[in-house]
Amino acid sequence: MSTSTARNASPAAPARGTTLLTVRDLAVRLPTGTKNEVRAVNSVSLTVGRGDRVGIVGESGSGKSVTGRAIAGLLPGSPRVRVSGSIVFDGDEMVGAPPKAWQAIRSRRVGMIFQDPLTFLNPTMKIGKQVQESIVARRQPGVNVREEVLRFLSLAGLQDVAVLASRFPHELSGGMRQRVLIAIAIAKLPELIIADEPTTALDATVQQHVLRSLDETVSTLGTSLILISHDLAVVAGMTDRIYVMYGGRVVETGTTASVMGSPRHPYTRALLRSVTSLTDEGVDLYSIPPALRAQLDAGALDVVIDHDRDGDPDPALGAEGEVRAS
Amino acid sequence: MKAAFLHYGKLLLSSFILFIAVITVLFFLLEIAPGDPVQALLGDSPVSDEFRAQIVASFGLDKSVWERYFIYLGNTLTGNLGLSFGSSMTVAELIMSRIGNTLALALPAFVISTAGGIFLGAIAARTRSKALDGAISGTSVAFFSLPNFWLGLILIMIFSIWLGWLPTQGKSPYGQDGIALQYLILPVITMATTELAYKARIMRSSMIEALGQDFIDTARSKGLSRDRVMWRHALPNALLPMITVSGYSLGFALAGSVVVERVFGWPGMGLLLYDAVQRSNNQVVLGVVIVITISILIINFLTDVVYGLVDPRVRAKFARSSRSAS
Amino acid sequence: MTVDNTSVGSGGTRVGDPGLGGSNSIDAIREDDILDAPPTGAVPTAPRGRKVDSVWKLYFRKPGTIAFLIVLAVVAIASFIGPYFAGNPVATVNPTLLPPSFEFPMGTDQLGRDYLPRVLLGGQVSLLVGFTVALLCMTLGLIIGGLAGFYGGLADAFLVKVAEFFQVLPGIVLALVAAALFGANIWVIVIILSVTMWPAVARIVRAEALRISQLGYVESARAAGFHSTRILWSDVIPNAMPPVIVATTMTVGRAILIESALAFLGIGDAEQPSWGALLNSAQSYMATGWWLALFPGLCIFLVVLAINMLGDSLNDSLNPSIGKVK
């Protein structure tokens, strides 16, 4: 939990300026095996304002990535994938919208940064070309594409961009590749960037550098950001507001400072505790107790604690976070 | 660059070693064949004493096994494939006179089957219509389950005998030199069809696999049209394995020409082999086999070279290693 | 006909169908439907234990499977038991070259023999050769590929070279040489075909062994003190079986095709002509007895088609493609 502590001190209001994205009761069902399906996302609601930086944090299987993809319209194309609920982007309802509408969103308004830069870049296409596609999709006539490519590569924190543009992904290091993914996302000058575990595949030292690049880029362009990660430190350092997810649901939300500082949902508390137990001296390693997990999985703790709305802790929850008999 | 030369040099060397190994095996087979070595080379037909003496001298058949081996090896490497009885030409000359005809079938068949296979496979992968995909896949499996010589017979029965549109046998009308076009049609179709079906299947699965890669998500996230994603991102990556498949199959097609040439009485290397086997003209048999082996080794080598030139990852590997070496 | 890519590791013939249908999606986001993602690796994840049951269940539920198994069963029964009921295959008492009729369902041949029993008998050799070769290939492939993939190092390098060597000479060509030198003999053919076709299977076994060896439980088995050889045979090989079974199935088809090609070239058992041999004789009578060429070839086609389809759907059952779930 090191970078940009200034972030945590920003105002508590949910939206700075107008609302860009409102997601309400989003549910995504994905097929598993040939007949079954699983609810990867189960009634998630979130809001992102213009210029906001929002984090979605949770463990693997919490549905955070699927949520991000659903918003970007990048779920698998199988007809067995089912989405319900509402995703309103700048006033337009996206659930059920025709492919053309989604295409328009993806080409100009929402950019996505993926996790593993090695597999997410086309191995047979030059870097410059891959960034170029983002720019061309903008459909902005009178733009010097070549210059723009180099501009965005620099903006993403890369050096020697002229040379780099004619290289192939395999010739770059992991950190550089991730910056290329950032460049690809920002080159379309989007209003919203969704970064799905952007540093998970990188070494610890490189992570910090790439995060800084992302931070600067997003600041410079004034883009909204949804940062998805399992790593609390990453999310805490870069976001104003945070959504904690477990098992396809949001369990707690509020400003990053508030949620991190005084978590109320048992899961969030356990999560924070397990992270701090890693770094604190003389504390045994803490992991989420099986009993808690059982409660969570059974749906006993299906409450959404919203720090901006609730004054007091949920009366159904005890001081230790256990569910009180009602 | 140096790394590239080293790599291909090694490949060439191993091809050469394989070649020597094959010759050794053939020599071994000659040795263990029933009857005396001279008879093994000459087969069953009676020959004049002069001819016999010639053979004995040329192959050193009166010497020890090791000497015979090295003489045989030496002969082969210098292009002395022996003499064919019943013909005034040496085996080498005989083969050279016929190889052109085989290539006249094999090369067009190669071009047609590769182009057609890539085209159909790509279409099958692209289409949203399960009916079209199923039709292409189904007919592909059907066609590569056909014995190609049977296909040839059926084609002759339909187009030559019943309809009378095309000639049945040979490469040109009686007495005419060179290859007449209408004689080429059925044999080439016969050679190309089963190969085409096979390549279409491989291309289809290669495309589907490419479409499942992560970088397709990145491409989609740019809002690119479905076609662009398919042809500019998936296709180039799907073509890479096709290079290897096509190259290797050309070599095998040369071997399979025996059968097609027999069906159509096409005077190529394959028919030469067939006739020689029938008459136990073993020097010719071995000579053709050696030429086929060399051809396959050369084709495989060239295929690897082409692949290395085309796949940027291989190019990068060479560039990297030579950079680190210097 | 399998292929080894030098740097991209895709294995042999891989076929896959998109999607398995399943539940309807109506409230899904209407999306650009790039086809469902296929398996991402070159080999399928080996199902184990109960999962294997579900693979078999899936397999047998496909309509094609039962149908083609019936076809195979019918052909096998017809070949081995049919001749007892069909009529006399060698008696040359009937009028020659009679077209199919009620009395002679497949007509009579050029010597007045009832063609139906001859065709039925022809199946025996083809089926026996096909299955024997496939079994030998599977055995050799399992042993050599398993050793290579599991032990790695020098043994692996050596065995790979050995496999390469056996793949250089096409089976047909080698068989022709053997026929010329030793005379045609069904066992020679079986041995030669097995010797030239096992590398394809071994390649797949090796890839699987390599993959499985790196999974956790091999390490733990070693740590538990189990002898390497035992781990190989009781853990690694059984889990490598699924793609091996698919490959072996395809080998049956290829072996039958090559055997019939050789018989067509006159190399086979003179006493009991296989389908290919029947086609050889039929060549001279294309104008006067079209049924002589039609029926044996049709049988080859049906059998190989059934086998290929069965192998195909087995492959599909092992790699169900549902769409990427991230």
Nearest to C30 among A40, A65, A98 (CB): A98
Q: Is residue A241's pLDDT more than 80? A: yes
> Into how many domains does chain B fold?
1
In this structure, chain B runs to a length of: 326
Place of tokens 């047909």: C172
Structure token pair of residue B105: 């079938």
Residue B129: per-residue pLDDT: 85
Q: In angstroms, what separates the C-alpha of B5 from chain A's closest C-alpha? A: 20
Residue A193: per-residue pLDDT: 93
Residue A110: per-residue pLDDT: 92
B24 domain residue, yes or no: no
State the CB neighbour count (10 A cutoff) for residue B324: 8
C181, C245 Cβ separation under 8 angstroms: no
Residue C86's pLDDT band, with cuts at 50, 70 and 90, is: confident
The more confidently predicted of residues B208 and A76 is B208
For range B90-95, the mean pLDDT: 83
Q: Is residue C11's pLDDT more than 50? A: no
How much is the mean pLDDT over chain B?
84
Q: Collapsing DSSP states into helix, strand and coil, what is residue A112?
A: strand
Q: Do residue B145 and residue C181 have CB atoms under 8 angstroms apart?
A: no
The more confidently predicted of residues B322 and C217 is C217
Residue C24: per-residue pLDDT: 27
Residue B120: per-residue pLDDT: 95
Q: Do residue C38 and residue B286 have CB atoms under 8 angstroms apart?
A: no
Pick from B185-199, C150-164, C280-294 the range whose average pLDDT is largest.
B185-199
CA gyration radius, chain B: 24
Pick from A280-294, A309-323, B232-246, C75-89 the range whose average pLDDT is largest.
B232-246
- The region that residue A73 occupies, defined by phi over 0 for left and psi between -120 and 50 for alpha, beta otherwise, is left
Residue C198: per-residue pLDDT: 93
What is the amino acid identity at position B55? I
Nearest to B277 among C37, C174, C180 (CB): C180
Taking only the tens place, the pLDDT of each residue in A155-190 is: 888 888 899 999 999 888 888 999 999 999 999 889
Nearest to C286 among B156, B289, B307 (CB): B156
Q: Do residue B236 and residue A107 have CB atoms under 8 angstroms apart?
A: no
Residues of B (68-127) whose Cβ lies below 8 Å from C: 125
Residue C256: per-residue pLDDT: 94
Across A115-124, B52-61, C170-179, least confident range? B52-61
Residue C321: per-residue pLDDT: 57
Q: Is residue A225's pLDDT more than 90? A: yes
Give CA separation, C192 vs A324, B25, B278, C258, in Å.
77, 13, 19, 11
State the CB neighbour count (10 A cutoff) for residue C1: 18
Q: Is residue B47's pLDDT more than 70? A: no
Across B26-40, B269-283, B297-311, least confident range? B26-40
Place of tokens 């903006």: A155
A neighbour chains, 3+ CB pairs within 8 Å: B, C
Q: Do residue B222 and residue A134 have CB atoms under 8 angstroms apart?
A: yes
Percent of all residues in chain C with a pLDDT value above 70, rounded to a whole number: 81
Residue A13: per-residue pLDDT: 36
Residue A116: per-residue pLDDT: 84
Residue B187: per-residue pLDDT: 92
Q: A4-11+20-255, which class in CATH?
A: alpha beta
Q: Is residue C23's pLDDT more than 50? A: no
For range B232-248, the mean pLDDT: 92
Taking only the tens place, the pLDDT of each residue in C29-45 is: 222 232 222 323 333 33
Structure token pair of residue A35: 């007949």
B166 touches C: beta carbon within 8 Å: no
Q: How far apart are CA A20 and CA A134, in angstroms?
A: 21
Residue A316: per-residue pLDDT: 52
Percent of all residues in chain B with a pLDDT value above 70, rounded to a whole number: 88
Sign (positive/negative) of CA torsion C236, C238, C244, C246? negative
Mutate to test the interface with B, among A108, A120, A131, A197 (most CBs of B within 10 A): A120
Q: Do residue A103 and residue B225 have CB atoms under 8 angstroms apart?
A: yes
Map out the domains of chain A as residue ranges.
4-11+20-255
Taking only the tens place, the pLDDT of each residue in B170-199 is: 777 777 777 778 888 999 999 999 999 999
B317 domain residue, yes or no: yes
Q: Collapsing DSSP states into helix, strand and coil, what is residue C31?
A: coil
Percent of all residues in chain A with a pLDDT value above 90, rounded to a whole number: 22
Q: Is residue B321's pLDDT more than 60? A: no
Place of tokens 């007919």: B139
Q: In angstroms, what separates the C-alpha of B239 from chain A's closest C-alpha? A: 11
Mutate to test the interface with A, among B206, B213, B216, B218 (most CBs of A within 10 A): B218
Residue A312: per-residue pLDDT: 52
CA C77 to chain centre: 19
Across A271-285, B87-101, B134-148, C10-24, least confident range? C10-24
Residue A8's pLDDT band, with cuts at 50, 70 and 90, is: very low
Residue B38: per-residue pLDDT: 63
Residue C4: per-residue pLDDT: 34
Place of tokens 């020890």: B64
Q: Tell me the DSSP string of B16-49.
A: HHHHHHHHHHHHHHHHHSSS-HHHHHHTTS---H
What is the amino acid identity at position B319? A
Q: Is residue C169's pLDDT more than 60? A: yes
Residue B127: per-residue pLDDT: 86
For range C211-220, the mean pLDDT: 76
Residue B61's pLDDT band, with cuts at 50, 70 and 90, is: low
For residue B125, the enclosing domain spans 101-280+306-325
Give the DSSP H or E segment for A289: none
Q: Do residue C169 and residue B293 have CB atoms under 8 angstroms apart?
A: yes
Residue A260: per-residue pLDDT: 86
The more confidently predicted of residues C269 and B85 is C269
Angle at alpha carbon of residue C144, lines to C139 and C149, rounded to 5°: 125
Q: In angstroms, what separates the C-alpha of C248 from chain A's closest C-alpha? A: 26
Percent of all residues in chain C with a pLDDT value above 90, rounded to a whole number: 21
Q: How far apart are CA C193 and CA C187, in angstroms?
A: 10
C67 touches A: beta carbon within 8 Å: no
Residue B44's pLDDT band, with cuts at 50, 70 and 90, is: low
Chain B positions touching A122 (Cβ under 8 A) are 215, 218-219, 233, 237
Q: How far apart are CA A196 and CA A233, in angstroms?
A: 15
Residue C320's pLDDT band, with cuts at 50, 70 and 90, is: low
What is the reported pTM? 0.83
Query: Looking at residue B258, which CATH number applies to its domain?
Result: 1.10.3720.10
Chain A positions touching C322 (Cβ under 8 A) are 31-34, 78, 80
Q: How far apart are CA C306 and CA C308, in angstroms?
A: 6
Q: Is residue C14's pLDDT more than 70? A: no
DSSP tag of A56 = E
Residue B36's pLDDT band, with cuts at 50, 70 and 90, is: low
B105 domain residue, yes or no: yes
What number is the ipTM of this complex? 0.87
Q: Is residue C245's pLDDT more than 80? A: yes
A124: nearest CA partner in chain B: B312
